[in-house]
Amino acid sequence: MKPKVIYLPIKKLKPHERISTRRVQQLIKYINGRGLFTTPIIVEKNSKTILDGHHRVAALRLLGCSLVPAIMVDYRSQYIKVYLRHNHLPMELLKDLVIKTASNGVILPHKTTRHLLATGRVRNINCGLASLR
């Protein structure tokens, strides 16, 4: 079953990772150049924690958007997997820690985690920027 894309207010979302300013600037050029937003972010449905898409959210915010296309997921689901990207971090970093850090305003280093959905990623939604402002 294909996940449903909804529009969420950016101001309600909680990040759990830092962002790269350079990557955000690249995304701004890409999104602005196409006039479209194509890949929804992934958000934990209860806490509103951004699981995937921190850079896209930052780019939309700087482009003056107040909404972001998103897929809401139940983080407790077995279909949501989280992996560490850096070997120097403790392997006991689990889903609870991701939610706890976001809720406490603690931000993990850039690209700490990688979230995968068993259903795969939704791409090419082609949402116009005007509808996100």
Domains of the chain are 6-132 (3.90.1530.10)
Q: Is the pLDDT of residue 91 over 50?
A: no
**What are the tokens at 34?**
């196409």
pLDDT band at 93 (very low <50, low <70, confident <90, very high): low
Strands 80-84 and 113-117: antiparallel
Q: Would you name the residues annotated as active-site residues?
A: 17
Residues 6+ apart with CB under 8 A from 102: 14, 15, 16, 47, 49, 50
Bridge partners for 44 per DSSP: 73
H/E stretch holding 132: none
The winner for highest mean pLDDT among 3-7, 58-62, 88-92, 116-120 is 58-62
Query: Which residues neighbour 25 within 8 Å (Cβ) at sequence distance 6 or greater?
Result: none
Alpha carbon distances (Å) from 100 to 14, 72, 115 = 11, 18, 16
Global confidence as pTM: 0.82
pLDDT, position 33? 92
